[in-house]
Amino acid sequence: MPEKDPVAWNATISSYAQVGESKEALDLFHLMQLEGVKVNAVSMISVLSACTQLMKQYGVTPNAVTFVSVLRGCSVVGLVDEGQRHFDSMRSEFGIEPQLDQYGCLVDLYARAGRLEDAVRIIQQMPMNRHTAVWSSLLHASIMYKNLELGVLSYVMLSNIYADSENLDNVSHVRQLMKARGVRKEPGCSLMEVNGEVHEFFEISRRLRLAGYKSDTSPVMFNIDEEEKEDALGLHSEKAAIAFGIMSLKEDVPVRIVKNLRVCGDFFDKKFVFVIFDREIIVRDKNRFRHFRDGHCSCNGFWRILF
CATH of the domain at 129: 1.25.40
Q: Is 20 left (phi over 0), alpha (psi -120 to 50) or beta?
A: left
Please indicate whether residue 152 or residue 295 has the higher confidence score (pLDDT): 295
In this structure, are 264 and 299 located in the same domain?
yes
Residue 1 lies in a domain: no
Residues 168, 197 share a domain: no
pTM of the predicted structure, to 2 decimals: 0.48
**Same domain as 70, residue 128:** yes
Q: What is the spatial distance between Cα 272 and Cα 109, in angstroms, rounded to a whole number?
A: 40
Domain boundary among 180, 207, 241: 180
Which tens digit of pLDDT belongs to each residue from 68-87? Answer: 988 988 887 788 998 999 99
Task: Tell me the CB-side half-sphere exposure of residue 282, using CA atoms within 13 A.
Answer: 6
Whether residue 139 sits in one domain with residue 14: yes
Q: How far apart are CA 72 and CA 41, in angstroms?
A: 10
Q: Write out the residue range of the structural domain in which residue 174 sits.
A: 6-180
Is the domain of 167 the same as that of 59? yes
Residues 92 and 141 in one domain: yes
- Show which of 180, 200, 227 is a domain's final residue: 180
Do 291 and 306 touch, CB atoms closer than 8 A? no
Overall domain count for the chain? 2
Are 158 and 209 members of one domain?
A: no
| Segment 90-147, tens digit of pLDDT | 999 899 999 988 998 998 899 888 898 888 888 888 887 666 667 667 766 766 766 6
